[in-house]
Amino acid sequence: MTFAKLIESTHIVRAPHDGISDGRYHTDLPRFYQKHPDKAAVDGFFELVKTDKPEGYYEPRYTKDGAKIYQTWEPFTPPEPEPDPLVEQVEQTASVVDYNIMMGTLADPSEMEE
């Protein structure tokens, strides 16, 4: 069983492995929370009910209902990949680099005084 704290609908924080609850230090806080869910709630942690991610592009969403946090999946459209640089842009960049190497400078030749 996993315990988590709901930060916002897109973000949760899992309970740490060890920490202080009920005024005492615990080396296995999740196990303590399993035995004492009321103490977990006081600390802001609730049982996380996970679901399997569907195929495709989905991102998780979380909602708290009662003493549990439920995970759902929302579809999203991935960003378009960056286009490959044009051959001319690559050639121009390569010529600038070659020029800088030959001249021993980092300046762009188009910025150099004539």
* The predicted structure's pLDDT at residue 60: 96
- For CA atoms 28, 31, 4, 62, the dihedral sign is positive
On the question of pLDDT at 45 being above 90, the answer is yes
**Structure confidence at residue 113 (pLDDT):** 56
The SS3 assignment for 31 reads helix
Q: Report the distance separating Cα 4 and Cα 12, nearest Å.
A: 6
What are the domain boundaries of the chain? Answer: 2-75, 80-109
Identify the band that residue 32 occupies on the pLDDT scale cut at 50, 70 and 90: very high
Mean pLDDT of 26-48: 94
Q: What is the pLDDT of residues 56-92, one digit of tens each?
A: 999 999 999 999 999 999 999 988 888 776 777 777 7
The answer for residues whose C-beta is within 8 angstroms of residue 30's C-beta and 6 or more apart is 1, 2, 3, 15, 17
DSSP 3-state assignment of 61? Answer: strand
